[in-house]
């Protein structure tokens, strides 16, 4: 099966061709958003980091996002005095071969002047990316992520195992698949370790889940929301088993952290819980934080399973919504791509829905819009985190 990808100068192939307008501090948010709104072209998207305090994690994540395979050009919007290292980010984008421009509001004449300059720059970048060559691209070049949000009692018996089946099919084709998150897999560490490709990977899996358990214990709050209970889930372990079902049955290749891109086919567990004691609060305060971390690790598409329902999409990479609950699907059908609730109603098997997901991934990779894309959803959330042992956590395929 041959797809068509946009070939970047760094060798990556994307399934979308976008210009990012990126604010580097909340003080520049309005200017960046106004540039995007006034250009008003669907291939121009907004991205940003609100904080001013320097943070290596945020810099790494923003670098990965701005050099994602779906991104063709970038305009950075800086206030001028923020802590973010805009020079480093611009240099990394330029090194990747993508056109990049930096606007500093304090040096560009203020709001209106910067907006006008930004519009001119972005329109030129749109013209440039329209010249990007499309080349053949195989399923073995795809990176697919999955997360769950708004889980309920149906998630673990319909949508999540259907994604797991789909993952197994993708892995058989040579794709790279990423599932998360260690904070929602507490209690499953021994089961996952039994699927590890090597003893070293098994040790990593147990270690990162135990870290998550310690982190949440200190915070006094775990990854279990009131909506989960209202939807019929009773314990963290029950929710964890449902989340685990998204991983399928294949061997687990390695553990990665956000921003690390797996370079060979395999199934990867993403550790989203920071190292050390809680410092910046809850690891992922909203679903879009998890999605954007998958994107930062190279995901071309993200599979989002939900029982209770969610309407979010994502900047940069399309989101495919898989609804676990047939009642939720009836209420939110305009936001959902796949009705996994058919499993609950006895109208389809898990395998049939898994194949439906697989076929939709191919269609979206070929240019078909997912529901969230068609509705204009392009949310994002980049937060503060800290991974002290990053150099020890890299994918084994890079060693």
* Alpha carbon of residue 75 to chain centroid: 21
Across the beta sheet with 338-339, the strand order is: 252-256, 266-270, 176-179, 143-148, 301-306, 319-323, 338-339
Q: What is the pLDDT along the chain (399 residues), one digit of tens a residue?
A: 689 999 999 999 999 999 999 999 999 999 999 999 999 999 999 999 999 999 999 999 999 999 999 999 999 999 999 999 999 999 999 999 999 999 999 999 999 999 999 999 999 999 999 999 899 999 999 999 999 887 788 888 899 999 999 999 999 999 999 998 888 888 889 999 999 999 999 999 999 999 999 998 998 876 656 666 565 655 666 666 778 899 999 999 999 999 999 999 999 999 999 999 998 888 888 899 999 999 999 999 999 999 999 999 999 999 999 999 999 999 999 999 999 999 999 999 999 999 999 999 999 999 999 999 999 999 999 999 999 865 443 344 333
> Cα separation of 274 and 193, whole Å?
20
* Alpha carbon of residue 63 to chain centroid: 14
Compute the Cα dihedral for 257, 160, 383, 311 and give only its sign. Answer: positive
Closest Cα to residue 246, out of 279, 270, 215? Answer: 270
Domains of the chain: 2-135 (3.40.50.2300), 142-398 (no CATH)
| Residues near 141 by beta carbon (within 8 Å), at least 6 away in sequence | 5, 13
Token pair for 20 = 């990012």
């Amino acid at each position: 099966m041959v797809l068509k990808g946009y070939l970047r100068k760094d060798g990556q192939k994307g399934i979308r061709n976008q210009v990012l307008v990126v604010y580097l501090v909340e003080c520049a948010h309005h200017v960046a958003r106004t540039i995007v709104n006034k250009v008003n072209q669907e291939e121009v998207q907004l991205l940003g980091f609100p904080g001013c305090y320097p943070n290596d994690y945020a810099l790494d994540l923003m670098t990965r996002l701005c050099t994602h395979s779906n991104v063709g050009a970038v305009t950075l919007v800086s206030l001028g005095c923020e802590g973010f290292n805009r020079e480093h980010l611009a240099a990394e984008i330029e090194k990747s071969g993508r056109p990049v421009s930096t606007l500093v509001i304090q040096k560009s004449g203020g709001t209106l002047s910067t907006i006008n300059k930004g519009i001119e720059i972005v329109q030129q970048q749109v013209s440039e990316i329209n010249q990007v060559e499309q080349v053949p691209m195989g399923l073995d070049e795809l990176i697919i992520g999955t997360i769950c949000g708004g889980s309920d009692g149906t998630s673990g018996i319909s949508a999540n195992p259907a994604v797991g089946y789909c993952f197994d099919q993708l892995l058989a084709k040579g794709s790279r698949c990423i599932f998360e998150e260690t904070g929602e897999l507490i209690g499953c560490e021994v089961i996952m370790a039994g699927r590890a490709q090597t003893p070293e990977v098994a040790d990593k899996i147990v270690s990162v889940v135990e870290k998550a358990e310690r982190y949440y214990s200190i915070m006094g709050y775990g990854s279990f929301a009131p909506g989960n209970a209202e939807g019929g889930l009773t314990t963290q372990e029950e929710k964890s088993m449902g989340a685990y079902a998204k991983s399928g049955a294949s061997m687990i290749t390695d553990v990665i952290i956000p921003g690390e891109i797996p370079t060979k086919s395999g199934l990867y567990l993403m550790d989203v819980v920071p190292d050390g004691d809680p410092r910046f609060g809850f690891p992922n305060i909203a679903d879009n934080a998890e999605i954007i971390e998958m994107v930062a690790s190279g995901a071309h598409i993200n599979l989002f399973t939900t029982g209770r329902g969610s309407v979010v999409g994502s900047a940069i990479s399309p989101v495919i919504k898989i609804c676990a609950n047939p009642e939720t699907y009836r209420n939110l059908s305009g936001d959902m791509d796949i009705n996994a609730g058919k499993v609950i109603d006895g109208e389809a098997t898990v395998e049939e829905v898994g194949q439906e997901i697989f076929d939709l991934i191919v269609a979206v990779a070929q240019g078909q819009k997912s529901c969230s894309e068609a509705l204009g959803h392009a949310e994002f959330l980049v937060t503060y985190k800290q991974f002290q042992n990053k150099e020890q956590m890299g994918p084994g395929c890079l060693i």
